[in-house]
Chain A
Amino acid sequence: MKTRKIAVNWFVDFDKEEKWLNDMAVKGWDFYRTSGVIYYFKKCTPGEFIYQIDFKEKKSKDEVADYISFRSSCEDQLAHQWKSKIYWKRNAAAGPFEAENNIAAKLRLTNKAFQYHLNSFIGLTLIAAFAFLVLMPLGRHLSGCCFAKWLTDFSTGLTYGILAAILLILLPILKKLNKKINDLISEIF
C-alpha cells in the first residue's frame, strides 16, 4: 500500500492552499513538507488532522522560536516551515484552530497574509526598479561588448516578467486580502 505521496501544486492564495491541505487530510494524506511547489504527504487516518497556514511576523530568530514554542505547548503541532510560512496541524478531535465567529483572530491572520504578500510586492518592485534603472542603462552603455546584449535582454525580460507577475498575481491577491480585511473590520464595528 502506498504510504507516501508527492503532489505538485502552486498557490498564491493561502486560503486555497489551506483548504487543499485540509482536503488532502480528509482523503487520508498528512502533509509534512513543501518546497513551495512540491508537497509531500504521508498516509494517515482520513480526517485525522486539520491544518492552518500562518506567517512569521516576528523579526528575530528568538522571537520566532518563542512563538513556535508557545503554540507547540498549546497542542498545535509544527508541520513545516517554508520561508515565511508556518504550517500548523492539530488532531481534528481537538477541535478547530479558531472558533468560526472569532473575527479578531481571522483579522489577525489575514493581516499577516497581507503583510507577507506586501513584502513580496515591495521586494519584486525593487528588483524590477534595479533592472530597469541600473542594468538596462548599463547594457546600453556597454554596447559593443559581447556581454552588453545579454545584459540588456536579461534586464528587459526581468523587468517585464516582474511587472507581469505583480499585475497578474500579486495585485489581485493584495486586493482580495484588503477587501477581506475591510469586510472583517466591518463585522467588528
Chain B
Amino acid sequence: MKNTNAALTEAIYYILLALQEPMHGYGIMQKTSAMSKGRLVLSAGTLYGAISNLLEKGWITPCGETSETEGRRKMYKITDNGQEVLMAEFQRLEELVENGRLNIKK
C-alpha cells in the first residue's frame, strides 16, 4: 500500500516509535504510556485496530511470538516502509516546533 502524506495520529506515531525494537501488544501499551508519561493510554481494543491498519499498510510486520511462559504473545516490528513514514513525520513535527519557536511571541 502506498504511503500517505497525511499527518500521523499521536497513537500511530507512538506505536511506530515503540516498535523501534520488536515488541508484543502489551509491551506497546506500556511503552507508549511510559514515553508519554501516562498521558496517552492505549486500550487493547484501540491498539488492535491500529495494529491491523499498520499491518495492512505494510508499516509493521509480525515477527514471531513470545515464549510459552510469557503467554504466547504475537510480536511485531517496524518495516523499512514504516521507518520512512516515521522519519517523515518526525521531520514534519520538527518543522512545526521550529516554526513555533521562531514565531510564537513570548
| Residue A98 at the chain B interface, CB threshold 8 Å | yes
Name the residue of chain B whose CB is nearest to the CB of A106.
B46
Do A109 and B45 touch (CB < 8 A)? yes
A76 pairs with B44, CB closer than 8 A: yes
- Of all chain A residues, which has the CB nearest B47? A74
Asked whether B45 lies within 8 Å of A73 as measured between CB atoms, the reply is no
How many residues of B are in contact with the other chain, CB < 8 A?
A: 22
Which of A52, A73, A95, A105 touches B25 (beta carbons < 8 Å)?
A73
Nearest-neighbour CB distance to chain B for A37, whole angstroms, equals 26
Contact A75 to B46, CB < 8 A, known contacts A70-B74, A99-B40, A104-B9: no
A88 → chain B, closest Cβ, in Å?
8
- Which A residues are in CB contact (< 8 Å) with B9? 104
6 inter-chain pairs at a CB distance below 8 angstroms, sorted by A residue, are A73-B26, A73-B73, A75-B44, A76-B43, A88-B45, A99-B40
Q: Which residues of A contact B39 (CB under 8 A)?
A: 99
Q: Does B100 contact A (CB under 8 A)?
A: no
Give the shortest distance, in Å, between B81 (CB) and chain A (any CB).
23
Interface residues of A (CB under 8 A from B): 52, 54, 67, 70-71, 73-76, 88, 95-99, 102, 104-105, 108-109
Q: Given A102-B46, A108-B46, A108-B49, verify A74-B41 contact (CB < 8 Å).
A: no
Residues of B within 8 A of A74 (CB): 25-26, 29, 44, 47
Q: Which residue of B lies closest to A76 (CB)?
A: B44
**Which residues of the partner chain A approach B72 to less than 8 Å between Cβ atoms?**
73
Beta-carbon contact of A71 and B11 below 8 Å: no
The answer to whether B25 touches A70, judged by C-beta atoms less than 8 angstroms apart, is yes
- Interface of B toward A, CB cutoff 8 Å: 9, 11, 24-26, 29, 39-49, 51, 71-74
Instruction: Tell me which residues across on chain A come within 8 A of B41, comparing CB atoms.
Output: 95-96, 98-99, 102
Interface centre among A75, A96, A105, A108, by most B CB within 10 Å?
A105
CB pair A71 B48 closer than 8 Å: yes
A70 to B27, CA, bound (A): 12
- Cβ contact within 8 Å between B44 and A70: yes
Q: Are B40 and A71 in contact (CB under 8 A)?
A: no
Chain A proximity of B48: nearest CB distance (Å): 5
Shortest C-beta distance, B29 to chain A (Å), equals 6
For A74, give the chain B residue with the smallest CB separation. B44
| Sample of 7 further A-B pairs with CB below 8 A, known A76-B45, A104-B46 | A70-B47, A70-B51, A73-B72, A99-B41, A102-B42, A102-B46, A105-B46
B46 engages A98 (CB within 8 Å)? yes
Q: What 9 pairs between A and B have smallest CB-CB spacing?
A: A74-B44, A99-B41, A71-B44, A105-B46, A74-B26, A98-B43, A73-B73, A97-B43, A70-B48
